[in-house]
Copies of this chain bind each other. A is one copy, B any other.
Amino acid sequence: MKLLEDRIRRDGTVEDGDVLKVDSFLNHQMDVELFAQMGEEWARLYAGEGVSKILTIEASGIGIACIAAQAFQAPVVFAKKGRSKNLAGDVYTTQVESFTHGRVYDIMVSKRFLLPTDRVLILDDFLANGAALQGLIRLVEQAGATLVGAGVAVEKAFQPGGALIRSMGVRVESLARVKSMSPEGGVQFC
């Protein structure tokens, strides 16, 4: 999606350690008009798939998922990290290893909000190693719901997550695929 690639070129910065900083418009300050156009693009890509639910994970996926959900006229469910006393009881849960934070955490979704009849589209801001996305896919499987596919804003295509998820037979639509990046040379897209 040229609009997102152009925005990353203009406002994104590359830092040491393969960090692509897009916090001025994507995951700290959030440009909701950009999100609406991203949502329209996913709605075009997944037209006719009968998406009944958008699934994402806290925290930075929530804004993108909510705005995009308007284009699908579907509710959003976000997976929570760690334990919460408001969620005790009937949840689907799995573990996710965070490479960014160097730890393993639990994610969970109430069983009431992922149903066997649901056709689920997973949306998130980043795809790198694919750990979070794989965790969300396991929650969909636990629910016996149908996974329509995944939509990702920025895929780091030089990391293994995208290839791994696609090799599982899951459709992944990334709006910007980063082929390579460096602090000196900036960002190149696929």
Contacts and interface: CB of A to CB of B under 8 A. Distances in A.
B24 A112 contact: yes
A86 interface: yes
Interface in A45-77: 58-59, 62-63, 65-67, 69-70, 73, 75-77
Given A63-B62, A70-B67, A75 B28 contact: no
A117 interface: no
A149 to B, nearest CB: 20
**How many residues of A sit at the interface, in one of the four size bands?**
35 or more
Contacts of A29: 75-77, 110, 112-113
Contact of A70 (B36, B101, B113): B36
Given A78-B28, A112-B24, A85 B100 contact: yes
Contact of A78 (B30, B65, B80): B30
Contacts of A36: 70
5 contacts: A21-B86, A28-B110, A29-B112, A30-B62, A62-B62
Interface of A: 19, 21, 23-25, 28-33, 35-36, 58-59, 62-63, 65-67, 69-70, 73, 75-78, 80, 85-87, 100-101, 109-110, 112-113
